[in-house]
Amino acid sequence: GENVEQHPSTLSVQEGDSAVIKCTYSDSASNYFPWYKQELGKGPQLIIDIRSNVGEKKDQRIAVTLNKTAKHFSLHITETQPEDSAVYFCAARFTGAGSYQLTFGKGTKLSVIP
């Protein structure tokens, strides 16, 4: 099955700096890559996603890049704010059997220091 590796597991940045979280996936047939943000005491919430026919997608301060050849994708947060502090999960969906299933990375705890 699919395997998703996520790095780093923890990340601390100063407010206003950028944060980058990287994920690699094992199945070259994967074609959908969402990112979820989980705040303390809440369930994860989708913040951005990208499909395999696109190399980059932006939404205000958040961007995701995808390198299909290298099988990795990254989340970029610019001008970080304290409210960006949370756990972030990447995920990948492969097109094989059970294609409803997302495989999640292990998560990155982002701390934005005011």
Q: How far apart are CA 52 and CA 11, in angstroms?
A: 27
Footprint of another protein on residues 12-41 (CB under 8 A)?
32, 34, 36, 41
Does 106 help bind another protein (rule: CB under 8 A)? yes
Which of 37/84 has CB closer to another protein?
37
Which of 67/101 has CB closer to another protein?
101
Q: Which stretch binds another protein (CB under 8 A): 14-22, 61-69, 76-84, 96-104?
A: 96-104
Q: How far apart are CA 27 and CA 44, in angstroms?
A: 24
Tokens 């704010």 correspond to what residue?
81
Question: 45 - beta bridge partners?
Answer: 37
Question: 112 - beta bridge partners?
Answer: 13
Which of 85/108 has CB closer to another protein?
108
Beta strands in 2-107 (DSSP E): 4-7, 10-14, 19-25, 32-38, 45-51, 56-59, 62-67, 72-77, 86-92, 103-104
Q: Which of 12, 45, 67, 81 binds another protein (CB under 8 A)?
A: 45
Q: Which of 1, 16, 55, 96 binds another protein (CB under 8 A)?
A: 1
Q: Which residues bind another protein (CB under 8 A)?
A: 1, 6, 9, 32, 34, 36, 41-46, 49, 51, 89, 93, 98-107
